[in-house]
Amino acid sequence: MRILILEDEEPAARQLLRFVAQAGLTAEAPPVLRSVEKALAWLQANPNPMPDLILSDIELLDGNVFSLYEQFRVTCPIIFTTAYDQFLLPAFRANGIAYLLKPFTFDQFQAALAKYQTLRQSFAPPPEPVVGGASPPAVTAEVLRELSQALRQGALPQYKQRFSVRLRQGLHILQVADVAYVQADEGVTFAVDGAGTRYPLNGTLTELERQLDPARFGRLNRSELVSIAFIEKVEPYFNNRLAVKLRASAVTLTTSAAQTPEFRRWLEG
């Protein structure tokens, strides 16, 4: 069985490789690609045969994975693995047959594989190429019903409302609503409130990002998240980046060039 993994986070990639091996899907470890650019290059270099199955994260190093599926016509089924539930409809449209919300267990992974095996005979044959451009891959109504039912049965994530921060004076309760931005600095992740006070948190920035409501906190770059409630204005910056000025503060944060397009979409809601 030919499997392709699209995942930019090293721990998540290792987990998927372990689950694939545990399920006995392939004798060799499948390739792991961490960016849209590398995934596109790999697919263009290996168009035939198409992988039997793609295990795909949604937010990769250089942007949203759906831009990949817009550039390259993938006709095999995809199991999406992500921390976000808001990408359900695009997943439907991109040959998605299951949608695993991180963190997921091996049992949930096996259930998605069982769905893949059950639905193999239900996949619509790929449409004929359209002159002047490729048409999007078809997804059968049965696949949509199966995936919709599976998601309705699963609980949507409950986002964190407060942090318990251990300080010298004791335990401090920090409300998420008071957090202006979250920043990773030399291996430690801090929440910074509107007054500029820094609170050390447990976990990596990526782990904390999964716990926070994506409608409230947006990714600026590989080391910072910002709260929409504390943004005063956003201005163009050098090298296709954005400068983000915070309310009642002298702090200005900047997006990375790779993250700027996704941050713009996040700002627009």
Per-residue pLDDT tens digits for 183-232: 999 889 999 999 999 999 988 998 899 889 999 999 999 999 999 999 99
Per-residue pLDDT tens digits for 127-186: 454 455 444 444 445 544 554 454 444 444 568 888 888 888 788 899 999 999 999 998
Which of 41, 135, 50, 151 lies closest to 96, judged by CA? 151
Question: Cis omega (within 30 of 0) on the bond before 49?
Answer: yes
Strand partners, 60: 63
Assign 224 to helix, strand or coil: strand
Q: Which structural domains are found in the chain, ordered by start?
A: 3-153 (3.40.50.2300), 162-267 (2.40.50.1020)
Q: Kindly report each contact of residues 63-68 with a partner whose C-beta sits within 8 Å and lies 24 or more positions away, as own/partner.
A: 63/36, 63/258, 63/259, 63/261, 63/262, 64/36, 64/262, 65/6, 65/36, 65/39, 66/90, 66/94, 67/36, 68/6, 68/36, 68/39, 68/40, 68/43
pTM reported for the whole predicted model: 0.48
